[in-house]
Amino acid sequence: MLRARPYRRTSWRASRGLAIGWGGAERAHNREMAQIGDKVLFTLAIALALLGIVMIYSASAVLAAERYGTQYHFLARQTVWAMLALTAMFVTMRVDYHLYQHPRLVTMLLVGTLVLLVAVFFFPAVNGAHRWIRWGALSFQPSELARFALIVFLAAHLDRRIPAGIKRFELTFLPCALVAGAMMVLVMFEPDLGMALSFGLILLVMFFIVRVPFRHQVVLGVGALPALAWLVTHVNWRWERILAYFDPWQDPRGSGFQAIQSLIALGSGGITGVGFAQGKQKLFFLPEPHTDFIFAHIGEELGLVGTGLLVLAFGVFLWRGMRIAWHAPDPFGMLLGAGIVVVIVTQALFHMSVAVGLFPVKGTPLPLISYGGSSLVITMAEIGVLLNIAQQARPDNV
């Protein structure tokens, strides 16, 4: 049960002092907080990122040589992104997570991400979608940042509402639903329905944690489900993917091609795999083996053993992450930590489920593993926030 506490309004300077150390007492406190927080989670995050670099090279070497004339193209870029991501994690580990609770920062984060979500429509489409802001060789996917911004807003807003009464529709449900809905609409028009649905999942998880009345959540479902049904049935390529989900062999060279090649990759790996860099499906059979189907590629080369250990790793991540959220010193920390864990783990679960045919095909990266700078940097930064929450866990629960 969340404990109610009065919201303490602090100045921007005071909050900034909490983050970087203000005076001798704060500097001493920061030295005490300099520990990692949760060594298991810290080690697991770095190990998964390193595994990702290795498997990206294995999956993309042939593709990179064909497109760019060097087999190290994706490897080199991901290595640079990994170093930036590690830096981001160390930075957020040292920033007191209470800073994200400050109303001015929350507002700046929300407005900034909404502007970026609009800005993507002024950049050239890639594969028919406006999801990236590109500047030369660099690209950034604002929706990744928008998810974190939504988590921060919901955690801060719901924490402030706990003393006033979480059951008041106009104070709790309505503001949260409007902000999440605005982000979902912008992302759906990119179009990226899967990412938009992840925003809705974050909202429902946060409501569940603070026990927002179920009747309010029914209102959300009544409004969202018809719109979701229309977006699936009235967009040809989405509907084709739904049909291919039930019978991919009906169109093996078209809508069912990706699902079939993924299953062939996993089946070819057997128990122990065909060996590192020995996979055949990456030879222009398995689409995007270094991003959307890297789990299938791992299954082919490392077998059931490799994929099983990867599933176990994300299971441990879920355990350690929710443990951190549960032992957070205040409701804001609990909500912030739980939101981060849910986003990372559900995305991993969805990616794996698509690879094994449990869900229709949808291009979703595997967190920490798949190729992609925006996803890796923001995920590692979010893990840094989790580790900072762990550093401040209640002493009786450490």
Res. 14 pLDDT band, cuts 50 70 90 = very low
- Is the pLDDT at 161 greater than 50? The verdict is yes
Residues 207 and 195 reside in one and the same domain: yes
Considering 200, 234, 268, which residue would you say is the last residue of a domain?
A: 234
Asked if residue 24 is part of any domain, the answer here is no
Whether 143 and 202 have beta carbons less than 8 Å apart is answered as: no
Stated length of the chain: 398
Tell me what the mean pLDDT of segment 8-31 comes to.
Answer: 43
Residue 134 in any domain: the answer is: yes
Q: Give the H or E element holding residue 138.
A: strand 138-140
Q: What pLDDT is stored for residue 304 in this prediction?
A: 95
Phi and psi at residue 45, in whole multiples of 5°?
-65, -45
How far, in Å, CA of 271 to CA of 196, rounded? Answer: 36
Classify residue 110: in a domain, yes or no.
yes
Regarding whether 245 and 202 lie in a shared domain, the answer is: no
What band does 4 get if pLDDT is binned at 50, 70 and 90? Answer: very low
Q: How confident is the model at residue 5, as a pLDDT?
A: 42
Alpha-carbon distances, residue 27 vs 18, 20, 21, 23, 37 (angstroms): 9, 8, 5, 6, 17
Same domain, residue pair 74 and 107: no
Q: Please name the amino acid found at residue 33.
A: M
Same domain, 194 and 269: no
The predicted structure's pLDDT at residue 217: 74
Whether residue 372 sits in one domain with residue 245? yes
Res. 7: pLDDT tops 80: no
In this structure, the answer to whether residues 378 and 302 fall within a common structural domain is yes
Quick check: 20 pLDDT over 50? Answer: no
Let me know if residue 38 belongs to a domain: no
In a domain, 25, yes or no: no
Number of domains in the chain: 2
Q: What is the pLDDT of residue 1?
A: 44
> Of 3-7, 201-205, 270-274, where does mean pLDDT reach its minimum?
3-7
Neighbours of 12 (CB within 10 A): 12
Q: Give the DSSP per-residue string, 229-247.
A: HHHHHTSHHHHHHHHHHH-
Distances (CA, A) of 126 to 165, 194, 296: 45, 17, 24
| Bridge partner list, 32 | none
Residue 148 has a pLDDT of 94
Q: What is the pLDDT at residue 389?
A: 94
Q: Which residues contact 171 (CB under 8 A, 6 or more apart)?
A: 161, 164, 165
What pLDDT score was predicted for residue 209? 86
Does residue 27 form part of some domain? no
Does residue 221 sit in the same domain as residue 239? Answer: no
At residue 17, does pLDDT exceed 50? no
Q: Do 267 and 243 sit in the same domain of this protein? A: yes
Give the domain extent around 264.
47-94+235-398
- Domain match, 146 and 82 both: no
Q: Are residues 332 and 270 in the same domain?
A: yes
Q: pLDDT category, 10, cuts 50, 70, 90?
A: very low
pLDDT digits (tens, 9 = 90+) for 201-210: 999 888 888 8
What pLDDT shows up at residue 18?
43
115 belongs to a structural domain? yes
* Confidence grade of residue 165 (pLDDT, cut at 50, 70, 90): low
**Are 136 and 122 in a shared domain?**
yes
pLDDT digits (tens, 9 = 90+) for 32-85: 444 666 899 999 999 999 999 999 999 999 999 998 989 999 999 999 999 999
Residue 331 near residue 308 (C-beta atoms within 8 A): no
* Distance separating alpha carbons of residues 338 and 335, to the nearest angstrom: 5
Percent of the residues in the chain that have a pLDDT greater than 90, as a whole number:
50
pLDDT digit string (tens) for 334-369?
A: 999 999 999 999 999 999 999 999 999 888 899 999
- pLDDT-derived band at 164 (thresholds 50, 70, 90) equals low
pLDDT given for residue 353 in this prediction? 94
Structure confidence at residue 300 (pLDDT): 95
Model pLDDT for residues 191-201, shown as the tens digit of each residue: 888 888 899 89
Domain boundary among 205, 234, 263: 234
- Same domain for 293 and 377: yes
Domain boundary among 234, 260, 280: 234
Summarised one tens digit per residue, pLDDT across range 70-123 is: 999 999 999 999 999 999 999 999 999 999 999 999 999 999 999 999 999 988
Inside any domain, residue 7: no
